[in-house]
Amino acid sequence: MSVTEMFPAELVERARKIKLLLMDCDGVLTDGKIYFLPMPDGSTSETKCFDCQDGIALQWAWKNGVETGIISGRGGMAVKERARSAHMRYLFEGNTEKLPLLEQVMNDSGLTADEIAYVGDDVTDIPLLKRVGLAAAPSNARAEVLDLVHYAVPRAGGSGAIREVIELILKSQGKWDAIWAKYDV
């Protein structure tokens, strides 16, 4: 099945231009839950749960020239490790005012808004979603977000939503068949 049979032509055209995929973390790369673990000294440590299917797709994006990054209202060691292990170019933590960070990324990368995709799930993501070339949201995003994105991803955040977006991009750019060929033995 061709990519234009799987997705609307306008969506494929948007995805074809993408060189950088930015995303929120909580609710997109994770299911939005934060786990506070008690430590022996009485303090707590924070962690999050990430999806392995997103992880392999982030590797495919990196290996196929699509850079990635996180712009998140929260942070933590788990987020830093996910960004490091996925070879992400950008990591901004603790920022709910995200638009200046998008502008910073555009200045740094030299990319136009049409060459950037963003995946978000909440109202703090709306300013970015309105400006990028490809705006996407997982199925569990806020209704206000789902109403304005180009691609409402069928999967929930933390359950392969980023995988779906990366597959859309790579298929639209004609890179998917070479990836698939490595596994179709």
Residue 15 is predicted with a pLDDT of 98
Domain coverage including residue 46: 7-176
User: 113-136 pLDDT, tens per residue?
Assistant: 999 999 999 999 999 999 999 999
Q: Find the helix packing angle between 9-16 and 161-172, rounded to 10°.
A: 90
Neighbour-count burial of 115, counting CB atoms closer than 10 A to its CB (0-12 exposed, 13-18 middle, 19+ buried): middle
Give domain status of residue 181, yes or no.
no
Mean per-residue pLDDT for 88-115? 96
Mean per-residue pLDDT for 23-43? 92
Give domain status of residue 149, yes or no.
yes
Residue 140 is predicted with a pLDDT of 96
Give domain status of residue 183, yes or no.
no
User: 73-82 pLDDT, tens per residue?
Assistant: 887 889 999 9
Mean per-residue pLDDT for 59-67? 98
CA 44 vs CA 4, 110, 148: distances in Å? 49, 41, 38
Residue with tokens 């995988």: 163
**Does residue 53 have a pLDDT over 90?**
yes
Give domain status of residue 74, yes or no.
yes
**Does residue 177 have a pLDDT over 80?**
yes
Residue 2 is predicted with a pLDDT of 80
Residue 185 is predicted with a pLDDT of 62
- Average predicted confidence (pLDDT) for the chain: 95
- CATH code (residue 114): 3.40.50.1000
CA 5 vs CA 37, 46, 79, 169: distances in Å? 46, 43, 36, 15
Domain total in the chain: 1
What percent of the chain lies above the pLDDT cut of 70?
A: 99
Residue 90 is predicted with a pLDDT of 98
Residue 95 is predicted with a pLDDT of 86
Q: How many whole angstroms separate alpha carbon 121 and alpha carbon 23? A: 9
Q: How many whole angstroms separate alpha carbon 97 and alpha carbon 20? A: 20
Q: pLDDT grade, residue 46 (50/70/90)?
A: confident
Residue 134 is predicted with a pLDDT of 98
